[in-house]
Amino acid sequence: MPINLNAFPLRIPNRSLETCRIPYDKESLDSLRSQHRATHAFRRQGENVRIFGSDGRFPVSGSPETLALQDNLGVFCFLVKDGLTRHLAGLGRRPLGFKPIELVSAKPEDNLLASLLGNAYPFQICAKYSIDTRFIQGQPFLLIDCSTRKVLRESCLYFVEKGFNILGRYVVTEEQDGYRKRFGSVASLKGETLHVTRRDGQVQQIQAKDAYLEASRTNFDDYIVHTHGAKKDAIVERIRQTVSVFNGGVNKKERIETLKKYFQSKTIPMIDGTRIEIDEAPDIQAQCDQMPRPVFVFNDNGEADWTEKGLTQYGPYTKRTFDRNDPSICVICAQQDKGRVEQFVRKLLKGISSSKYFKGGLESKFSLGTSRVEVFTTATDSVAAYKTAIESAIRKKADDGGRWDLALVQVRQSFKKLKVAENPYYVGKSLFFLHQVPVQDFTMELLGQSDISLGYSLNNMALACYAKTGGVPWLLKSSPTLSHELVIGIGSANIGQERGADNQRIMGITTVFSGDGSYIVSNTSKAVVPEAYCEALTAVLSETIEKIQKRMNWQKGDTIRLVFHAQVKKFNKEEIEAVRAVIDKYREYQIEYAFLKISEDHGLHMFDTATTGAQKGRLAPQRGKTLKLSKSEMLVYLIGQRELRQDTDGHPRGLIVDVHRDSTFKDIKYLSAQLYSFASHSWRSYFPNPMPVTISYSDLIARNLGWLNQLPGWNDSVMIGKIGQSQWFL
């Protein structure tokens, strides 16, 4: 059955254009665009700017050039987007951006909140279209995507008059081109004048009518509380379902088709008057491949392609070698919740008889024996109370001459709003880590689930607990190659209680390696600020190679393959040079490397008519469906139609994996299959991940260590001990 993309072939006209080339200078380019935007198009290319006009005349003198469009497809794509932008602007539609062009619908019927909260509600969630170009198998295509965007039509004055507290909230100002630019946070309000703290700390005044609240999730949720009080959660859930249905495959495809047909029906010219011609999306079914399900290895080398089945049939991989049987577990919880928490912990350890996958609990499923549990209560939710309870637990075990194998810590959702040093979750975690005790937190809200839902939650929680205590639930079987292989994941997290200058981007590095035909996660991990990232990458890589060459008995002349996974816009020269610097130290081996960029924000979707009649995920492709976009690019679906849990989950997003041109190993099919397998290898959940563990684990490391580093007295050297060898960050 046909499979289509939301990508439509562009016909390339057989004609040439006269252009003018001048040296690039930002100030000059901005000035030219401002004065001559109506009659000319300006495209920066490296250190030059190319100018295009309708009549061969140009506003400045430069080097004349004649370009054949069929030989300059990048120029052609630029002129197509320029022509579409001009057309939309001529209709008064105010398109934003260029990579991609974004168009937010102003139609009242395209406001998804109108049916829920009314047309007059100041926040709106509107249909948003993205328009871009992309090369697929060497040919130019027009990409059209449809999603949603939060929009705020009313100024700050509206919210002041409605009695909504805007102090401490971020506000934006609107530019002439429609862009809204962050201005700062509201420090005080006098009459209708806002006193706003800018990023540099300076306070500036602005009239409330000239500023807009940022259309953030926090502002949105808080205003719903202001207007609807206790009904907020129910309304937010209805909004989530409405947006998810809107983003489902059927609606998305229909809206994309409508806009494409509109473009086809109009005579939309490029700057030189040549009409933009758009063809129909081809059927790519014959060009798609389906990856086989990964195989996992369990106790006694038992194999299964379903982790739940493998654990039940064979037991965890380290069943016979796990050294923490009959584990000592301490529980930290609030005094007033002790009874319910004890019931919860018993279900975690012993299971729920009515549960489909969690009848035996943590102890039976992972062959742990009988846990020894002790509960320590907190009088209040304060940091001091948590510290007292945790210190009592640690002291008690130390007096007995041992240490806890696991700490279960009850937290509350409200803790997320606290600063790090005032947050019992982070303070408690740091205290336990200091004594090499892994931590699994749980919320009181979790305790309120029905046994059916709780069974699924506890099943995942038990898996993470086993991994945190040093167990290996399963390994990922791979086909042995002639090379020793290391796969290094690079993730990141934005860390900071306040946005702006104090906000930090933290890089996380983790290592996944294959040696004996199976993949396993190494204990080498690090989190650093971007400025120190290359140095840390070099250190982690050197340390890992040093460790594994002995462990795997590498021999002189062996081929070593390094594969880097990262969610970055592009790999920079510093990263590649850092890797080469390490490689130079190991000249006795033949080392090859691949830099694999992983992107989920690309706007390319696959619609598979084979799932048209499905109850959920209609038009969604199956997990493992791939399409080779070029020699170096592959579209890969790590989540497919069957992995969607309900019919309101929207259309799944595929990943585009791209091998950097400086890589010395470039087998995109092999690298994509490897990445696909890693998406099933998370010990945080039994469900396939929308990201490979190389990325998701690295993100978790960055987030956890980034927050912990904000605690007074915390030192990453704590993680050098046994705690660092477990999957503590799950």
Rounded CA separation 56/313 (Å): 75
Give the pLDDT score at 568. 75
Could you tell me the pLDDT band of residue 499, with boundaries at 50, 70 and 90?
very low
Least confident interval from 46-55, 526-535, 615-624: 526-535
Helix 693-708 to helix 668-678 angle (10° resolution) is 60
Burial 697-720 (b: 16+ CB within 10 A, else e): bbbbbbbbbbbbbbbeebeeeebe
On the question of pLDDT at 398 being above 60, the answer is yes
Give the pLDDT score at 263. 97
Rounded CA separation 345/356 (Å): 19
DSSP 593-652: EEEEEEES-S---EEEGGGTT-SSSTTPPPTTEEEE-SSSEEEE-SS-GGG--STTS-PP
Give the pLDDT score at 604. 97
Give the pLDDT score at 112. 93
Closest CA to 42 of 3, 98, 123: 98
Between 717 and 309, the more confident residue is 309
On the question of pLDDT at 680 being above 60, the answer is yes
Report which residue type is found at 278: I
Between 676 and 399, the more confident residue is 676
Q: Domain 478-598+659-712 - what CATH class?
A: alpha beta
Could you tell me the pLDDT band of residue 517, with boundaries at 50, 70 and 90?
low
Rounded CA separation 46/136 (Å): 23
Report which residue type is found at 549: Q
Give the pLDDT score at 500. 45
Phi, psi torsion values for 664, nearest 5 degrees:
-100, -10
- Spell out the alpha helix ranges (H) of 526-572: 533-551
CA distances for 686 relative to 267, 457, 461, angstroms: 52, 10, 10
Q: Going by C-beta distance under 8 Å and a sequence separation of 6 or more, which residues neighbour residue 621?
A: 3, 288, 606, 607, 608, 611, 637, 640, 641, 652, 654
Q: What pLDDT, in 10s, does the model give residues 633-674? A: 999 999 999 988 887 788 999 999 999 998 999 999 999 999
Q: Going by C-beta distance under 8 Å and a sequence separation of 6 or more, which residues neighbour residue 401?
A: none
On the question of pLDDT at 529 being above 80, the answer is no
Q: Where are the domains of the chain?
A: 3-147+247-265, 151-239, 323-468, 478-598+659-712
pTM: 0.91
Percent of the chain with pLDDT over 70: 97
Average pLDDT over residues 497-512: 62
- When the pLDDT of each residue in the chain is averaged and rounded to a whole number, the result is 89
Give the pLDDT score at 42. 93
On the question of pLDDT at 501 being above 50, the answer is no
Average pLDDT over residues 554-578: 83
Least confident interval from 87-96, 306-315, 401-410, 478-487: 478-487
On the question of pLDDT at 730 being above 90, the answer is no
**Bridge partners (DSSP) listed for residue 519:** 476, 514
Give the pLDDT score at 516. 52
On the question of pLDDT at 502 being above 50, the answer is no
Least confident interval from 150-159, 321-330, 525-534: 525-534
Give the pLDDT score at 218. 87
Most confident of 4-8, 21-25, 713-717: 4-8
Give the pLDDT score at 646. 80
Q: What pLDDT, in 10s, does the model give residues 437-484? A: 999 999 877 877 888 888 899 999 999 999 999 899 998 887 777 788
CATH number for 323-468: choose from 3.40.35.10, 3.20.20.70, 3.90.320.10, 3.40.50.2300: 3.40.50.2300
Q: Domain 151-239 - what CATH class?
A: mainly beta
Give the pLDDT score at 521. 64
Rounded CA separation 560/588 (Å): 10
Average pLDDT over residues 234-250: 92
Average pLDDT over residues 103-115: 91
Report which residue type is found at 546: E
On the question of pLDDT at 503 being above 60, the answer is no
